Structure 1
């Protein structure tokens, strides 16, 4: 059975391809996305609580770290000035520039602890906003690598009571997306966006700290703030993957050779540009691996390395990107809110924004032990079985 190198990682990448439809280029930080207008409200993820309200300065304090929540029009320097911090250091800690204008409700992680607001101070009214969250979920988990903790020069005070359970603080690694991170922690992308004030295109950057939404019903940890000696680092919250590793993705070995004779060869009697289905076959070949929701979100179609890969229908190139193993992924947007995804390809001949016609060559099959194209159809957030569209 064909499989991608690093199959689990690729699967998560392709599960989140609706986000990649706005990527449009191989930007490592994925910041310059467009808006395709898809909604993630139907994401099947665990319910989460709302993010706590910050104090009057815009700070949310947890036992092991603090974050500041940006107000409308805030720059990193504005937050630093409000809290008596060095703007350059705060910016560097969050992979930003002091002059970067932040989204309303965007979370900025503090490099060290500041004094808690006086008891009884009114919470700030800043919110993460209620913009409609567009598009879909790659994942691998970069563990938070917090810098050392020290106390700011402001008047010392007793730490404020924790505002609910302390969320995991995730530092975005290269190649990760908001959707992959949401999938990794089993939360909705919408909740992740609301907790962190992400823009409508859901872009994140390498080195950015994200708060992972707390599951609803989770008892607040009776945590006592960890006390560290001067010069010592603060303890890093243990990610779920450390306590309970994700299960290995094993494919049982076949006890007998697989009979490929029964696999439908949809390309035998028609070309990629023809056929009566909504979509044409991207290559002519047998279905090596069928669609299984959540396991294989598309079909793998047999084809020799170097075979031209055709556009399944007329549309626009919405994304050309790569996963963490540098395997190209191409996404086309079609009428009716449909996306088609092409993976295990190489030699891409189009660029983001190009209009393509049905049957136009857009790439070629990537060389490998088993030649095939991974093909998906996505409708908004969800992957759907491509076969009804091809037959």
Structure 2
């Protein structure tokens, strides 16, 4: 199956994947839990099978299509020669040039079938309904149908994954989020580079769960009990009118009253160390919403200076597929800030920056706003509590 799906919202978080030098492993699953429903993060991390092993040529063969896995030192021409395919046809189909170098493990989609591996194509295990598993994606699918061949006995058993074609404006993160898989799994299955970049026209295999893996059904017992409507709450016992009120204590006018106001000389320093400055000043036109908007959008005139929210190091500078820059700054305590919808960059990767230092400017075309995110590791959090 091949799908052409455009997410309505471009999310900039793929840039975070360039910060893989963090000392501790980070959960790259960005799917959020809603309400009291059980979290799906563990499922995305653990319930993903390994990509099937290719044959000696690098071919992975499914009933509906075949892909080739690039080997170290490959370019498209050498891969085409090894599998017996037309390099020009491969280039057109995958949106690259015949001389372009390929990453070790990169997936190249085949427009037609080449000779099958000795064991034949990978077949689904008995009792697995592929249509049911892919139902959500099929509803969004392209009208063009992929013709399948008759299943043959195979030494490999597995589910045929969805094959997604990258459209303009998409990133690895938007695609992973679209299919509810982790970025890490998507990268491992498709041999993505350290910056997790994808190109328009590239085909990606969407990781699948191991054969027979069952999704845990929703258990109402895991949700905190809620009283039925109309149950009401207990009325507190009113104080007895028969008991006398305590004697009123008169404070002499000359007695000084101790102020409860905080000592700004001590508290202000602590606050400034724990909070961040607004990268631009303006109205918040879109608020943080976990799983929907992983940051805030702050209105600002085109050309407005975008400043570092706190001291840190520029950990990554990348672009989305529309060529719009994204800056990621790493701060102490495993905090990251993300700045997008920017241009005229004033820093480069590896630069140390100070709070309030200019990083870039608001773009002079498109939406007049900055998209700003704060992340604890790779987990997005509401920026407002951090901003002073």
TM-score bucket (shorter structure): 0.5 to 0.7
Q: Offset of 1:312 from its aligned partner?
A: 0.9
Match of residue 376, structure 1, among 347, 370, 373: 373
Q: SS at 1:117's partner residue? A: coil
- Equivalent residue pairs, number: 292
Whole-angstrom distance in 1 between the partners of 2:83 and 2:96: 17
Matched, 1:350 2:357: no
- CA-to-aligned-CA distance 1:21-45 (integer Å, 9 cap, x gap): x4xxxxxxxxxxx865485535136
Distance in structure 2 (CA, Å) of the matches to 1:165 and 1:208: 21
Deviation of the 1:338 alpha carbon: 2.5
| Alignment-derived partner of residue 237 in structure 2 | none
Is 1:41 aligned with 2:27?
A: yes
Task: Summarize the Cα distance change of 1:320–1:68 in structure 2 as closer, same or farther, 3 Å threshold.
Answer: closer
Q: What is aligned with 2:117?
A: 117
Counterpart-to-counterpart distance in 2, 1:312 and 1:150: 53
Which of 160, 167, 170 is the matching residue for 1:176? 170
Distance 1:142 1:105, change over 3 A: farther
Check if 1:319 corresponds to 2:317: yes
Aligned to 1:294: 291
Distance 1:160 1:92 in 2: 32
Q: Distance in 2 between matches of 1:372 and 1:74?
A: 42
CA distance 1:142–1:56, shift in 2 (3 Å): farther
CA distance in 2 between counterparts of 1:370 and 1:360 reads: 23
Change (3 A) 1:73 1:362: closer
Partner of 2:34: none
CA RMSD of aligned residues (A): 4.3
Aligned to 1:256: none
Contact kept, 8 Å, 2:302 with 2:362, in 1: the verdict is: yes
Counterparts of 1:371 and 1:97, CA distance in 2: 36
- Preserved CA contact (<8 Å) 2:28 2:183: no
How do 1:57-68 and structure 2 match up within 5 A? Answer: 57-68=57-68
Alpha-carbon contact 1:75-1:100 (below 8 Å) kept: yes
What is the Cα deviation at residue 108 of structure 1?
Answer: 1.8
Partner of 1:209: 203
CA distance in 2, matches of 1:370, 1:208: 28
**Are residues 386 and 89 of structure 1, via their aligned partners in 2, closer, same or farther at CA, if it must alter by over 3 Å?**
same
Runs of 5+ consecutive residues of structure 2 not aligned to the other structure? 1-5, 30-40, 122-138, 214-270
Gap regions ≥5 residues in structure 1: 1-5, 23-33, 122-140, 152-156, 220-273
Three-state SS of the structure 2 residue aligned to 1:9 is coil
Corresponding position of 2:52: 52
| Residues 1:69 and 1:8: Cα distance change in structure 2 (over 3 Å) | closer
1:288–1:301: 8 Å Cα contact kept in structure 2? yes
Distance 1:215 1:333, change over 3 A: same
1:368 and 1:74 map into 2 onto residues whose CA distance is 39
How far residue 209 of structure 1 moved from its aligned partner, in angstroms, is: 1.3
Report the more deviating stretch, 43-52 or 327-336: 327-336
Instruction: Please report how far the alpha carbon of residue 178 of structure 1 lies from its aligned counterpart in structure 2 after TM superposition.
Output: 1.8
Partner SS for 1:193: helix
Contact 1:172/1:205 (<8 A) preserved: yes
For residues 146 and 97 of structure 1, what CA distance do their matches in structure 2 show? 26
Displacement of 1:68? 1.7
Q: How many Å separate the matches in 1 of 2:292 and 2:16?
A: 17
Q: For residues 94 and 299 of structure 1, what CA distance do their matches in structure 2 show? A: 35
Structure 1 residue 16, shift from structure 2 partner: 3.7
CA distance in 1, matches of 2:108, 2:280: 47
**Distance in 2 separating the partners of 1:186 and 1:371:** 31
Match of 1:199 among 193, 203, 208: 193
1-side partners of 2:83 and 2:366: how far apart? 57
Moved more, 283-292 or 72-81: 283-292
Deviation at 1:196, TM superposition (A): 1.5
Secondary structure, in 3 states, of the residue corresponding to 1:60? strand
SS in 1 for 2:177: helix
Give the whole-Å Cα distance in 2 for the aligned partners of 1:369 and 1:307. 14
Asked if the contact 1:61–1:163 (Cα under 8 Å) also holds between the matched residues in 2, the reply is no
Counterpart Cα distance in 2 of 1:287 and 1:185:
30
2:77 aligns with 77
> TM-score scaled by structure 2?
0.60
Distance 1:275 1:213 in 2: 44
Structure whose alpha-carbon radius of gyration is higher: 2
Distance 1:49 1:275, change over 3 A: same
Change over 3 Å in CA distance of 1:97–1:145 after alignment to 2: farther
Deviation at 1:8, TM superposition (A): 4.8
1:244 alignment partner in structure 2: none
Contact 1:116–1:158 (CA<8 Å) still a contact in 2?
Answer: no
Q: Deviations over 1:66-124 (max 9, x none)?
A: 11223333333333223222233333322333344433322221221122233499xxx
